[in-house]
Amino acid sequence: MTTSLNLRALFGVATLLLLGTALVRADGSGIRDNATLFSDAAKSEASRNITELEKRFGKDLAIETFKTIPDDLKKGVDLQDKAAMNHLFEQWAVKQAKQLKINGVYVLISTEPAHLQIVVGTETQKKAFTLLDRDNLVSTMLGRLRQKQNDQALLEGVNFVHSTIRAHASVRAPVRSMTPSPAPAVTGHTTHTETETSRPWLWILLALLGVGAVLLIMGIFRAMTRGSGTPGVAGASPLSGGGGFMSSLLGGMFGAAAGMWLYNQFSGNHGSAWGADQSNTNDSGGDSGFGGRDSDYSSSGGDFSDSSGGGDSGGGGDSGGGGDF
């Protein structure tokens, strides 16, 4: 019976670990190269930079490539009407950003027709990555795409986003005072921070940790009681109660370790694999003061086909009209 319970407990913890890993990887950041525009080496290097961007500054960067426009989107659209096509790409990119719940920057690249559209969240553009930054990113990537330097377009684009957000974070990082700040006044209501309201699962994890601790204590108590009830057995000890104490202890330690691992993964407190310097971040959730999550977006973009030419942008406004470059 004890063995069966232990196996069930281990299976439950393993399931939680797998679920935690899946959720951690289900965020919007990353590269989805459906049109196979980039080499594996370029994607690997860019992905590392994107991961560091998310860990240090709490901002997403997603890049998706498509071979063509989905049929349901271009249905009823005059593909020869430039304004209509610009509007289509704008709506398509914003739709993808919302679907992926991007909190940062989203890049859409289509090969047929050859078009680039870049979306920035309305909260992100206030501090972390402005509209001017967005238009500079459009110009940088379009220049490389027109020269058919796809890997360079990817790497330079990712590096530009990372360095720009890092620069804005450095400027906005507060100077820590040696004098402790006064305690906030107590009011008649409780103020919830953004982290508390937007991450209710933290309380669930803490509750699971509490349950695990209670079960561990109960297991220890039962094992010690069982051990003390057999005084006639020579050499009897709390550690020899049919494996009850040790199994409870090991199970509790394993469960606590697993719970802390899940907490660190979900709360974003896990360290960067690059050993990044955290001196430019503050105590506002590790995002260098870039508060608020994106729920709406604006975009800009342009064509990069051979016939698109090298003129000035016909778009770049907040409404996201693409236009030729």
Edge to edge, the sheet with strand 297-303 lists 30-33, 60-68, 104-112, 114-121, 297-303
Residue 127 lies in a domain: yes
> What is the torsion angle, in degrees rounded to the nearest 10, for the CA atoms of residue 172, residue 173, residue 175 and residue 179?
120
- How, if at all, do strands 114-121 and 297-303 pair? antiparallel
Q: What one-letter code names the amino acid at 6?
A: N
DSSP string, 169-214: HHHHPPPPPSSPPPPPPP-SSPPPPHHHHH-THHHHHHHHHHHHHH
Q: Sign of the C-alpha dihedral, residues 52, 139, 148, 34?
A: positive
CATH number at residue 150: 3.10.310.50
Tokens of 281: 């971040």
Residue 124 lies in a domain: yes
Cβ proximity of 25 and 253 under 8 Å: no
Residue 75 lies in a domain: yes
Residue 317, pLDDT score: 45
Residue 255 lies in a domain: no
pTM across the whole model = 0.58
pLDDT averaged per 10 residues in sequence order, the chain, 325 residues: 51 44 55 98 98 95 97 92 96 97 97 97 96 97 98 98 95 52 46 44 66 69 59 44 51 56 49 36 49 92 73 42 36
Residue 308 lies in a domain: no
Cβ proximity of 289 and 176 under 8 Å: no
What is the total count of domains within the chain? Answer: 1
Residue 196, pLDDT score: 41
Residue 208, pLDDT score: 72
Residue 178 lies in a domain: no
Domain interval for residue 83? 27-171+293-303
Tokens of 161: 């986003």
Residue 78 lies in a domain: yes
Residue 54 lies in a domain: yes
